Amino acid sequence: MHAIRALAIDFSGTLARPGPNPDGACVADALRDRLGLDVPDDFAAVFDSVHAEIRQTDRDARVHTMFSAVIARAALRCGADVPDAAEAAEAVFASLPDAAVDADAASTVRALHRQGWRCVLACNTERSAAARLRTLAEAGIADCFASAVLSSEIGFRKPHPEFYAVVARACAVPADQILFVGDNLSKDVLGPRAYGMHTVHVTRDGVRGVDGPPADDGRGDGSACGVLGHFAELPGYLAATVVLPG
């Protein structure tokens, strides 16, 4: 059994089904309707082009450019007057629904919190901390997380090692006492395992059991990755395989 003292939990695909991403039309509408800004007709197309360029560069480097900086660059390129890019970004996410948290997943998070687990949200997202915390609050689980590590806030995205370093600091325990739970093999399994964490892969397709160590994760310690069909199965997995917090 593993001595686990903290849980790092992904969001989209793990606690919630993926939600809508902001495109140029959405951003332009938010700037006009919520902030009363007069933006050029070509702003939406320019934003989409700039956003695609930045996302590709960010993915290659495993970093994350803040959404406000994307808006500012698009505005500069097309001559739009956006005096406060941070305010503009918040206006976009206030108008664009976030992913809805799965009801069973929310109940599970609350149960884990009652059991005494230290839970840290750990996800790649365009949304600010304020926007994501609103979503968690609507699901009744905001107070269940000791901290939220978001790529949009720290400037690094999974699977950059610095992302997991920030997660480890937020969990306030050594990496080998953290269980990282998520649905993406590269970002939520290989990445945290390479950093020394334990992992559970949520497949969301009904598959469950135990995977052997991925061939390219470099650990070579014979450890395995838990596999669950839904996040709601996590308490049972914890009870059977790890030392519970006390």
What pLDDT score was predicted for residue 244? 59
What pLDDT score was predicted for residue 17? 86
Tens of pLDDT, residue by residue, the chain (246 residues) = 568 999 999 999 999 988 888 999 999 999 999 999 999 999 999 999 999 999 999 999 999 999 999 999 999 999 999 999 999 999 999 999 899 999 999 999 999 999 999 999 999 999 999 999 999 999 999 999 999 999 999 999 999 999 999 999 999 999 999 999 999 999 999 999 999 999 999 997 655 555 554 544 555 454 568 899 999 999 999 998 876 555
Q: What are phi and psi of 156, to 5 degrees?
A: -125, 145
What pLDDT score was predicted for residue 150? 98
Q: Would you say 8 and 181 are in contact if contact means Cβ atoms under 8 Å apart?
A: yes
User: Beta strands 198-202 and 178-182: pairing type?
Assistant: parallel
Spatial neighbors of 192 by CB under 8 A, at least 6 apart, are 8, 164, 167, 178, 180, 198, 199
Q: Quick one: CA dihedral 202, 203, 206, 207, positive or negative?
A: negative
What pLDDT score was predicted for residue 215? 43
Neighbouring CB atoms inside 10 A of 160's CB total 20
Which is nearest to 151 in space by CA: 61, 30, 36? Answer: 61
What pLDDT score was predicted for residue 121? 98
What pLDDT score was predicted for residue 189? 95
Which is nearest to 118 in space by CA: 83, 167, 78, 51? Answer: 167
What pLDDT score was predicted for residue 216? 44
d(CA 160, CA 122): 13
d(CA 59, CA 51): 12
